[in-house]
Amino acid sequence: AQTVTQSQPEMSVQEAETVTLSCTYDTSESDYYLFWYKQPPSRQMILVIRQEAYKQQNATENRFSVNFQKAAKSFSLKISDSQLGDAAMYFCAYSLSGAGSYQLTFGKGTKLSVIP
């Protein structure tokens, strides 16, 4: 079974600074997807960024980027120029690729606080 581990229950960052959230996962598969979802206090799940395992290039979306280390099974999220609106729970998630139901396996989350 696949597992996703987020070892930082809480993190804080000063506004405009950079923060990195860690995620490791365990799988015996070679083809899969990794995601970061943001959950603000409204509890809506919002996709931040995704990474295909077959791609060596790290995904970026504006101020959000990932450091994907396939051999180490590590998938960290870097938030640059942090804004107050970035304060939320962040969940790392895994999904198998190919045939199947693509269900997500989530980590326990990291609560990010942004200090003005």
Partner 1 sequence: EPEVTQTPSHQVTQMGQEVILRCVPISNHLYFYWYRQILGQKVEFLVSFYNNEISEKSEIFDDQFSVERPDGSNFTLKIRSTKLEDSAMYFCASIVPQGRVEQYFGPGTRLTVT
| Residues binding partner 1 (CB under 8 A) | 33, 35, 37, 42-47, 50, 91, 93, 95, 97, 100-109
- Which amino acid belongs to residue 114? V
Q: In whole angstroms, what separates CA 89 from the centre of its chain?
A: 10
Cα gap 60→20, rounded to integer Å: 14
Please, which residue, 36 or 82, has the CB nearer to partner 1? 36
Please, which residue, 100 or 116, has the CB nearer to partner 1? 100
Residue 114: Cβ-neighbour burial (10 angstroms; 0-12, 13-18, 19+): buried
Cα gap 113→116, rounded to integer Å: 10
Q: How far is the CB of 106 from partner 1 (least distance, A)?
A: 4
Q: How far is the CB of 1 from partner 1 (least distance, A)?
A: 11
Please, which residue, 19 or 48, has the CB nearer to partner 1? 48
Residue pair 23/76 in contact (Cβ under 8 Å)? The answer is yes
Please, which residue, 25 or 82, has the CB nearer to partner 1? 25
Q: How far is the CB of 19 from partner 1 (least distance, A)?
A: 20
Q: How far is the CB of 116 from partner 1 (least distance, A)?
A: 26
